[in-house]
């Protein structure tokens, strides 16, 4: 955890860099655009279904429309992590290359170029693991509801495992010859990242900070000098 915290603070220091800020704004804009488009599609699909099947009267449809909007807003907050990590996966090579170039130039010189096709595969694999892992954990989530706090704690644990692997994969794509992080280090990386996603406002920065943190953790673990 100590190494993860050190990597986290190094990643925070990367944020003011103009290139990092540009990638952050691009990825955030794309994430919000996808959420807005998906939300609008769900809203109009719900209204069309109610009109087509005549389930409700005009007044009831207006109330149902408001409820649908509220559900979409709540769902967007819950889905933000999934959409954001997929979008960041598309920009992964640019993020990793930038952090490596400034902090670990020797490692950056040995890196393998990662194309858009591989970035897309990594992003889709991350999404599949996220959905699959949380679906497998769903019965336990439901059982822990009676505890009041057990469900969010277990969800944080599960998503820390998933996110740690995803972030590590982003960096290892450029360094396929490097050994993987140990399980405790990978889980610490995922835990700090997953926790930052649930903090309002901070969750907007979490995708980029998490990616930069993964770069620092892997290179620090490999003994690469940080200039």
Q: How confident is the model at residue 64 (pLDDT cuts 50, 70, 90)?
A: low
Unique residue bearing structure tokens 């290139």: 19
Domain spans in the chain, listed from the N-terminal domain onward: 2-221
Q: Is the pLDDT of residue 181 over 70?
A: yes
> 83-133: per-residue pLDDT in tens?
777 777 777 777 888 888 888 888 888 888 777 777 788 878 888 888 888
> 199-225: per-residue pLDDT in tens?
767 777 878 888 888 888 888 877 766
Unique residue bearing structure tokens 């009109």: 51
| Residues in contact with 121: Cβ distance below 8 Å, sequence separation at least 6, in sequence order | none
State mean pLDDT over 135-146. Answer: 84
Name the token pair of 61: 């449809």
CB 81 within 8 A of CB 155: no
Which CA distances in Å does 81 have to 45, 77, 128, 177, 200? 24, 8, 13, 29, 12
Helices 58-90 and 202-221, axial angle in degrees (round to 10): 20
Q: Is the pLDDT of residue 163 over 70?
A: yes
> 191-204: per-residue pLDDT in tens?
888 888 777 677 77
CB 92 within 8 A of CB 211: yes
CB 208 within 8 A of CB 167: no
Count of Cβ atoms closer than 10 Å to residue 88 Cβ? 27
Q: How confident is the model at residue 65 (pLDDT cuts 50, 70, 90)?
A: low
Q: How confident is the model at residue 69 (pLDDT cuts 50, 70, 90)?
A: low
DSSP string spanning 98-136?
HHHHHH-HHHHHHPPP--HHHHHHHHHHHHHHHHHHHHH
């Amino acid at each position: 955890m100590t190494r993860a915290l050190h990597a986290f603070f190094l990643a925070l220091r990367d944020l003011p860099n103009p290139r990092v800020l540009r990638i952050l704004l691009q990825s955030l804009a794309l994430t919000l655009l996808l959420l807005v488009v998906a939300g609008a599609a769900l809203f109009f699909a719900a209204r069309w279904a109610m009109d087509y099947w005549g389930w409700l009267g005009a007044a009831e449809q207006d109330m149902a429309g408001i409820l649908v909007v509220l559900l979409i807003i709540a769902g967007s907050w819950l889905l933000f992590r999934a959409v954001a990590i997929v979008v960041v996966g598309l920009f992964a090579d640019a993020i990793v290359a930038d952090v490596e170039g400034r902090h670990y130039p020797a490692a950056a010189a040995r890196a393998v170029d990662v194309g858009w096709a591989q970035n897309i595969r990594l992003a889709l694999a991350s999404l599949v693991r996220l959905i699959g892992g949380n679906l497998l954990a769903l019965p336990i989530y439901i059982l822990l509801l009676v505890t009041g706090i057990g469900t969010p704690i277990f969800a944080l644990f599960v998503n820390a495992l998933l996110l740690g692997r995803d972030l590590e994969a982003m960096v290892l794509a450029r360094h396929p010859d490097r050994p993987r992080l140990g399980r405790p280090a990978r889980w610490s990386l995922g835990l700090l990242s997953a926790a930052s996603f649930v903090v309002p406002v901070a969750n907007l920065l979490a995708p980029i900070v998490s990616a930069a943190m993964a770069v620092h953790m892997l290179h620090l673990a490999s003994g690469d000098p940080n200039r």
